[in-house]
Amino acid sequence: MQSVKVESDENKVRQKASSSLYQTVWRWHFYAGIIFAPFLFILYKLN
pLDDT per residue over 9-19, tens digit each?
A: 777 877 777 88
- C-alpha separations of 39 from 17, 27, 33 in Å: 34, 20, 10
| pLDDT above 80: residue 25 | yes
- Number of structural domains in the chain: 1
| pLDDT above 90: residue 34 | yes
Residue-by-residue DSSP string for 13-44: HHHHHHHHHHHHHHHHHHHHHHHHHHHHHHHH
Q: Nearest 5 degrees, angle CA 3-CA 20-CA 2?
A: 10
Dihedral sign, CA of 32, 38, 44, 47? negative
C-alpha atoms less than 13 angstroms from C-alpha of 14 in its C-beta half-sphere: 6
Question: Global pTM?
Answer: 0.57
Instruction: Give the range of the structural domain holding residue 1, as residue numbers without chain letter.
Output: 1-47
